[in-house]
């Protein structure tokens, strides 16, 4: 795990109106309870500081003028077992102490008790005219590429069911089909969307970042990078983390336009960037209030 020296100002990541926080590393050996093949933390994404709930909320209050939305997301899954309750308690504390939209991302599934608590977070925020954006990540549907999301990540179907439960408690539901990967067929994404389309508000894609000869490359492409991928690569810096590395980036206009068309036909907001999707959702909501 990378060693990082933090001062109070950069425990977490605040930029472009977003504050990104998390529970930090699971322990001294593992950043996250899960181990996705494409996880950026393996190859240089700088993880956040490990702080308790009071410290995280104090940090957010101290820096309140710098952001319009809080993400509990980033370097770890703060809701995966064994930290599900701590992650929910963090959402509760943020919703009670800060007047702000709140988004969380996870690959976990929630029990009915968890959902009752999340419903209270939804209602606390609604009373402040704010939303809870509940984002569930699903990167594949077919078992052929199940190695991308290894055990103990719950099955795609279990996560699809979780999105429905989150929709039923009044959360704004976000399906993160992220990142779009060259070894996942577009039919996988369409299968997931077909099942979820009636209870998701937003679908997100994302370009795929990896380091040449790094861990992500070896795990995502166990048989080597396909030629057509190699020739389409570009080099970029990440604009959502302070690491200074140059990353190989792969994007697919075909996947993006196919998913966009599906979403347009089914009244689901689609974007490759969460900030754009959230702004779009809020404008549509404001329009409905005016009509
Ligand atoms: S859940 Fe997120 S942080 Fe955890 S291993 Fe997967 S991609 Fe990385």
pLDDT in tens, 169-220: 999 999 999 999 999 999 999 999 999 999 999 999 999 999 999 999 999 9
- Give the residue, by CA position, lying nearest to ligand 1 atom 6: 36
DSSP 132: E
- Give the residue, by CA position, lying nearest to ligand 1 atom 8: 39
C-alpha closest to that of 174 among 253, 100, 276: 276
Q: What is the 3-state secondary structure (H, E, C) of 234-291?
A: EEECCCCCCCCCCEEEECCHHHHHHHHHHHHHCCCEEECCHHHHHHHHHHHHHHHHHC
Q: Is residue 3 part of a domain?
A: no
**Residue 41, token pair as written in the block:** 């933390």
CATH number of the CATH domain containing 235: 3.80.30.30
Q: Is residue 1 part of a domain?
A: no
Q: Which domain holds residue 123?
A: 8-290
Looking at the structure of the chain, the number of domains it has is 1
What's the 139 CA to ligand 1 centre distance in angstroms?
11
Q: Is residue 229 part of a domain?
A: yes
Ligand 1 mutation pick, 13, 36, 104, 238, max ligand atoms within 8 A of CB: 36
pLDDT computed for residue 288 by the predictor: 78
Q: What is the pTM of this model?
A: 0.96
What ranges make up the beta strands (E) of 12-74?
Answer: 13-15, 17-21, 67-72
Per-residue pLDDT at 2 exceeds 80: no
Q: Is residue 2 part of a domain?
A: no
Ligand 1 mutation pick, 23, 32, 109, 153, max ligand atoms within 8 A of CB: 32
Check if 10 has its Cβ closer than 6 Å to any atom of ligand 1. no
């Amino acid at each position: 795990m990378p060693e990082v020296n933090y001062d109070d100002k950069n425990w977490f990541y605040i930029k472009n109106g977003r504050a990104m926080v998390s529970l930090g590393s699971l322990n001294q050996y593992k950043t996250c309870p899960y181990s996705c093949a494409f996880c950026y933390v393996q190859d240089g994404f700088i993880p956040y500081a490990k702080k308790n709930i009071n410290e995280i909320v104090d940090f957010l209050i101290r820096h309140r003028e710098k952001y319009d939305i809080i993400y509990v997301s980033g370097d770890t899954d703060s809701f995966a077992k064994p930290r599900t309750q701590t992650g929910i308690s963090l959402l509760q504390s943020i919703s009670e102490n800060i007047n702000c939209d709140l988004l969380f991302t996870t690959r976990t599934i929630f029990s009915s008790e968890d959902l009752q608590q999340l419903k209270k977070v939804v209602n606390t925020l609604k009373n402040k005219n704010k939303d809870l954006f509940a984002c569930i990540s699903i990167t594949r549907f077919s078992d052929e590429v199940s190695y991308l999301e290894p055990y103990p990540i719950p099955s795609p179907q279990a996560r699809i069911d979780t999105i429905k439960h989150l929709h039923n408690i009044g959360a704004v539901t976000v399906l993160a089909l992220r990142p779009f990967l060259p070894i996942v067929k577009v039919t996988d994404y369409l299968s997931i969307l077909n099942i979820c389309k009636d209870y998701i508000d937003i679908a997100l894609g994302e370009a795929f970042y990896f380091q040449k000869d790094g861990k992500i490359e070896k795990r995502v492409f166990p048989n080597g990078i396909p030629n057509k991928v190699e020739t389409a690569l570009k080099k970029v810096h990440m604009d959502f983390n302070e690491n200074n590395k140059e990353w190989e980036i792969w994007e697919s206009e075909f996947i993006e336009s196919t998913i966009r068309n599906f979403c347009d036909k089914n009244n689901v907001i689609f974007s490759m960037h969460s900030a754009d999707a959230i702004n779009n959702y809020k404008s549509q909501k404001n329009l409905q209030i005016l009509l």
